[in-house]
Amino acid sequence: MKINRAFRPSILISLSLGAALAQTPTSRIVSAANKFLATLDDTQRQKAMFRFDDEEQRKRWSNLPVSIVPRAGLSIGELNPSQRSAAMALVASALSPRGFEKVQQIMAADETLKNTQGSGQPGGRGRGGPPQGAGPAGPPPGRGPDAARGGRGGGPPNGRGGGGLMFGSDLYYISLLGTPSEKNIWMLQFGGHHLALNITIEGERGILTPTLTGAQPALYTANGKIVRPLAGESDKAIALLSALDENQRKQAILSFRLADLVLGPGQDGKTIQPEGLKASSMTEKQRSMLLDIVSEWAGIVHESAAVARMAQLKAEIDETWFAWSGPTTVVSGNNIAAYYRIQGPHLVIEYAPQQMGGDPSLHVHTMYRDPTNDYGRKPATK
Amino acid sequence: MKRILAAAAIVLCVCIPASAHRLDEYLQGTLISVEKDWMRAQIDLTPGVSVFPVLIADIDTNGDGAISETERHAYAGRVLRDLSISIDGHRLTPRLVSLAFPAVEEMKEGRGEIRIELDAALPRGGPDRKLVFEDRHQSRIAAYQVNCLVPQDPDIRIASQHRNYSQSFYELSYVQTGAQSAVPDFAGFTDSAMPLGALALLLSVRLALLWGGRGRAKR
């Protein structure tokens, strides 16, 4: 077929526009979501999909293991290898490479916990890593869909027996609220023990709040290498604290103990009175360091959404506070054992080591919120 | 009492391995909000696994393994009695607004969260107000966390927050513009403010009588 010369440029423009549109982050995520859904049978699809306005499912996340707080959706453990690949490809499509790596390392930490709790050993350095590197270990092949019981909100897949605590990378759940769309609002949830990604997608907007990350052990070895899933969150924060002068430290360091997250699960949309050192009293370099800490959470989501979010948080940096509670030193290569909070007009970040019988630096919960826009409830500005 | 001591002995005997859930503490997270005429608080109480025996002995008073409605309310009453809340030096009487209890099994696993919501009417005061919240509930095993929500009312601005190390003591200073300090509400006043108010009232009456007497003398 011969194409009229006059039409060639417009066809080329259309083709390149189409290609560009096909490459937008949202279209990539939608495409990955549809590919994942296409791998599922009807029963599985029904389990994975929820109405967008399902408030119960939206709030069904926690730092706790799934045997304590049951999640709904499809667990990785009840998927066959190709379904599992499609599920993880969907999660990866919504995240930055570093964000996805962090998610894999959190899951691998839980795999380490599974392997060490059975033997009664605490997880941690030198106690062995996940079976297959820092990535999530695959479940045994052939785990059937009957592995998950109880329907929505039911218990985790069986096979671990006993009703005791269950850990491992099989026990992370994926669910979709609403229909994947490039225009209409919908949501991707992925989480389990120490992980709750709540990603709301509306057009090109990608909102990651509220999101919980954590790790136990927060330091382990895999393939001979030390892995710290929350290394940036820890190292950058102690670097900022060390960069403060005496007067600034007096303001930043709180004189009381903080045992846990203040605005953890179940505290959506709440704004507490900020405390500590206001960034308007910091030097330009210190403010830049503060933003760099924030990027550890804001940068989990895919790049274009992260860029938009960081621009918002940078514009509000003078109204952002930094507060610290606990030890002010750390052995190099280890995580801090201190709590810290970063709070701005549209931001709450909490880093909370857990004193639960072990070394608190090895068991960390963190929270990332925009109390004004949890789950992307705030309408998009035109 | 014997049951509580026995439970405490169990706690002391529990060896503490690294765990996925709260162990040897009773987390008590309080979020306070202040309005012009009210203070409200939400208290989330999460017992750790190894302190659960202490808690259940305190809550399940008849020891039947279940927590009845009566036992729930009795426990909430004890929590409220262990609080001391005051505004500008005047003690407040908190009122239970709502109460939510998890299943016993959930608490046993270290994930059960008791939620108590309370409020207290605030007597009128000046523009600079000071609210003190003290919590002594299960202080031996408690991990207190007390915070204030940013006020919804634009006329109220938080000035400062002070706590002791354990956060059992929390002091909130705030500024309330448009405060009606000119018309004292004696009903809300207690202790030292009451004699002062009564004295002011008596003086007003005395002055009014004197003024009336002068008027009659002129006529």
A351: closest CA among A322, A376, A373?
Answer: A322
In a domain, B56, yes or no: yes
Task: Name the H helices within A23-96.
Answer: 25-38, 42-48, 55-58, 81-94
Q: Which structure tokens are listed for A165?
A: 């605590």
Both B69 and B42 in a single domain?
Answer: yes
Both B45 and B129 in a single domain?
Answer: yes
Q: Per-residue pLDDT tens for A321-363?
A: 999 999 999 999 999 999 999 999 999 999 999 977 678 999 9
DSSP A272: B
Both B131 and B81 in a single domain?
Answer: yes
Both B54 and B101 in a single domain?
Answer: yes
Query: What integer is the mean pLDDT of B53-62?
Result: 91
Both B82 and B57 in a single domain?
Answer: yes
Higher per-residue confidence, A216 vs A116? A216
Helix (H, G, I), strand (E, B) or coil at A314: helix
Residues 144-163 of A with CB under 8 A from B: none
How many Å lie between the alpha carbon of A142 and the closest alpha carbon of chain B?
A: 29
In a domain, B75, yes or no: yes
How many Å lie between the alpha carbon of A113 and the closest alpha carbon of chain B?
A: 9
In a domain, B181, yes or no: no
In a domain, B170, yes or no: yes
Confidence of residue B109 (pLDDT cuts 50, 70, 90): confident
A325: closest CA among A354, A352, A298?
Answer: A352
Query: What integer is the mean pLDDT of A223-241?
Result: 97
Both B166 and B207 in a single domain?
Answer: no
Both B162 and B209 in a single domain?
Answer: no
Both B59 and B134 in a single domain?
Answer: yes
In a domain, B154, yes or no: yes
- Domain residues for the domain of B207 are 186-218
Phi/psi region, residue A347 (left: phi>0; alpha: psi -120 to 50; beta: rest), is beta
Residue B60 contacts A where some CB pair is shorter than 8 Å: no
d(CA A294, CA A236): 9
How many Å lie between the alpha carbon of B158 and the closest alpha carbon of chain A?
A: 8
Query: What integer is the mean pLDDT of A285-303?
Result: 98
Query: What integer is the mean pLDDT of B58-78?
Result: 94
Query: HEC states along B100-152?
Result: ECCCHHHHHCCCCCEEEEEEEECCCCCCEEEEEEEECCCCCCEEEEEEEECCC
Both B114 and B212 in a single domain?
Answer: no
In a domain, B90, yes or no: yes
Both B90 and B193 in a single domain?
Answer: no
Q: Per-residue pLDDT tens for A69-83?
A: 889 999 999 999 999
Tally of structural domains, chain B: 2
- pTM recorded for the entire structure: 0.81
CB contact under 8 A, A69 and B149: no
Both B167 and B74 in a single domain?
Answer: yes
Both B172 and B200 in a single domain?
Answer: no
- Nearest chain B alpha carbon to A272: B149
Q: Which structure tokens are listed for B131?
A: 């609210």
